[in-house]
Amino acid sequence: MLAGKTILLGVSGGIAAYKSVELVRLLKKEGADVYVIMTEHATKFVTPLTFESLSGNPVFTDVVGEYKKYPVEHIVLSEKADLMVVAPATANVIAKFANGIADDYLSTTNLALTCPRLICPAMNHNMYAHPATQANLKRLDSYDNYQLMEPKEGRLATGIVGKGRMPEAIEIFNEIKYLLSPKDMLGKTVLITAGPTREHYDPIRFLSNPSTGKMGYAIARKAAERGARVILVSGPVSIELPPKVKVVSVNTAIEMREAAIKYFDETDIFIGTAAVADYRPKNRAAEKIKKGADTLILDLEKNPDIIAELGQNKDQRIVVGFAAETNNGFSYALEKIKKKNLDFIVLNDVAQKGAGFGVDTNIVKFVFPDGTHEEFPLMLKEDVATKILDQIMKL
């Protein structure tokens, strides 16, 4: 997603500088070209060589001699940058940026930039709360192209608990991806169901399936990156929550239906990735069922078909379903599109290696109501998510 993007990382002198090492690794893994600019104080916390080795690019510092080596590089860098992130941003750097001071490599580059900046303050809680710092942050926030990330409450370097901790590298990375994504879904509300449902037959046992939520969460993450308001109705899963997404946790198919119906009115696009149990036990024992007879017969009753109900009431909305099949996928998928009144269905043959439940990849086919289809090779679920959203935006 970040291939072809040039990101400048400004590192100023704070203990949180070590977190920026991980940030470089994440950015490089996603394909970004990263240039690190360090203040002289920052070089006391982490060596330039660490950043140079990880970024694969020269590191720019204020150490005597470096200016001479790359005399106008701050101008060259500022011209090719897509974004500059400053992490950690000390009170001093924030004060310089707010007041247009350009007395070192980082602050000079900042003034020459026209791209967005992401500023991640990190400092002692009293320094952060100081009226001067707060005024500087307010001033920065009022400038075009400055995005501030709020520091966290927590244990600071001195051992004191307070507000001033830099967010974790992964959080900054997610914010960078958000800032650099095209916002073609702004103004749209996307409702997604994800994960399995659990249908209890006693307080501790239930019928379920191996869905991990990975497919649905990937779509939620991508839609949010593209500017959509995202509501994710999720069955019980244990994966990381996507940023900027409203998550509604449910257990059973009945609860999932209730939540989906609640938000459907405000929805433009509904995507059903959840593996909803088709049946639930007719009775739920109040206490744990004791082991007794050799066989246990459970009476099951049909669960509501959530997407079919929403599909029948869709009006102008786009409704997209998934079909998890092991055989005759295409004809079953086509049947489901018609029965559930869908705009298209994403068919995954869950018997194929690398597709369906649990894995990070999927192999899918989009099947349309007129019987046409588009086939994709094995892809990361995040990339499948992008293809699905692209197709929805085409519709």
The residues that are catalytic are 209
Rounded Cα distance, 233 and 245, in Å: 10
Residues in contact with 369: Cβ distance below 8 Å, sequence separation at least 6, in sequence order: 337, 338, 342, 343, 344
User: Between 307 and 326, how does the x/- string for binding to ligand PMT read (CB under 6 A)?
Assistant: x-------------xxxx--
Give residues 159-178 in contact with ligand PMT (rule: CB under 6 A): none
For residue 356, CA distances in Å to 210, 215, 323, 352, 388 come to: 10, 8, 10, 8, 15
Closest CA to 148 of 73, 81, 88: 88
Tokens of 78: 């500022």
x-marked contacts with ligand PMT along 334-363 as a string, rule CB under 6 A: --x-----------x-x-----xxx-----
Amino acid at 165: R
The beta strands (E) that lie in 224-342 are given as: 229-234, 245-249, 269-272, 279-281, 300-302, 318-325
Nearest-approach distance from CB 308 to ligand PMT, in angstroms: 7
Exactly one of 39, 252, 273, 386 binds ligand PMT (CB under 6 A); which one?
273
- Position 282, amino acid: K
* Residue nearer to ligand PMT on the CB measure, 91 or 271: 271
Among positions 108, 212, 234, 267, the unique one binding ligand PMT when judged by CB under 6 A = 212
Q: Is 171 helix (H, G, I), strand (E, B) or coil?
A: helix
Asked whether the beta carbons of 32 and 7 are under 8 A apart, the reply is: yes
The residue (of 357 and 368) whose beta carbon lies closer to ligand PMT is 357
Which residue among 34, 231, 306, 318 contacts ligand PMT (CB under 6 A)?
306
Q: Pick from 117, 125, 214, 226: which binds ligand PMT (CB under 6 A)? A: 214
Using CB under 6 A as the binding rule, whether residue 272 contacts ligand PMT is answered as yes
Question: Token match 């005024």: residue?
Answer: 135
275 binds ligand PMT (CB under 6 A): yes
Q: Tell me if 215 contacts ligand PMT by CB under 6 A.
A: yes
Token pair listed for 129: 């709360």
Which parts of this chain interact with ligand PMT (CB under 6 A)? 193, 195, 211-215, 253, 272-276, 278, 303, 305-307, 321-324, 336, 348, 350, 356-358
